[in-house]
A and B are shown apart, each in its own frame.
Chain A
């Protein structure tokens, strides 16, 4: 191994270091959330916290680093970290029927963050109106389901009807609950992010 001199070391800036650490921890938290599911009264499928994680990534880390966190999450899962639902991993999950939802996370996190913060910069969330927050999360949800259902339809060679029923309608009540939870979290100032 060769000796390294000071001039060869290319240090990462302080702010970037914090953002990288947050993006990586957020991605790992998404993985931890994959193991948590709640029974939800009106939904036939158990509710996981992952979509809530996507919302909060866009809101608290901002559109750019929120999307970066989601990319890390997907890449780590593809390379073998047990971060997909129930602890599965590998490219097989991304190319499977539910892969579209996963692949849409970076886009959704970006959409949520960009609308809520009104641009690419991370601003204080207390200044953002509820309308902005709801609009951002609604756009994010639309992105997740449009890409998810489209992928399910293409992946399983099914009819559009079947794809929409199995891929979207059964999840709708739970999504509304998650949006309400996200707004409650943002408004209560419970997360010490800034």
Chain B
């Protein structure tokens, strides 16, 4: 099922083969297909909605035959293609503070520079800004800034925060009412398509099927060795389900493919695939909190797999929904189910719940340590992580490490610094594992 795709032209110093599985190829097709549809939206006469990943309403959006454009994903793509740095500077030049979120600035900078998508084609102006205000305050300002730029219709979906660590009936009914009275009417108006709840039910049923396979993949990391990296690899696995594909037949197929591939690795006792091929022996099992850095994504990953560190569970792969704790989209109660989905996203949970979840991961995935990648841009994740670090150490007795970087600001990734800390950390785990060799004092 594996296909080798050379990443460098023949004759490069050391031809390196990146192993791409069928699922990866499938996802690649899906993503480029979506970008192609976006780029030809104007000619095709299709309407476009811009929305965010956490708490996104893809199943609902599909009911109106409109395309889904995700500014966060554009920022990530630009980060990985090393374009974000210039975009951020452009936004700062235009009066945005150096203190604030670089997703926002990368997005605004991209728009100022012609709004070219990752493959160099112009992205369409949205017809509707669907502001799913879930788990991140900055989203609200981001969309106000976009509205300022596009002068288009904006629908606000305010998802209350789980301040006391639970979803109340009042919260669900608030979200459902907003869907009924604010979001759906605006979608109907913009698209000219009448809302059909049965269509939504079908989409939700497909979501649930994909979610089932996705959860199976996440849980495969409980095996030793883990057949997946649940953070660096996980970022790819969440792609379809967190973005414009949840609820599609494509996503269902993708997760079937992925599950089969991982099952095969599991049966063969193989570890994760990395950009350099199969990972070496598993030496450290980590739980990771916080989003990755995108501008040096591969360098960062390499710092871990070179030392035999594999991430067995991560919180970032829960920002677009926490499926492994039982939630599934439910066609039987479509709008309520969407509300519960939004309310349940990782950064919409309070600090105690987040810490509890991590503690559970530490235990259930038998992790050796806990690593926080603290992101400058993202206060929603980052504010409080140092308390989280203490709590996890206290509760599990496992050592925790703390590094800092940013989402898409290349100025904020210091490889020497991060490598130094990671090395120290792994050696510390190693020493502690080796048992307490008495020094002279003893």
Decide whether A and B are members of one complex. Answer: no
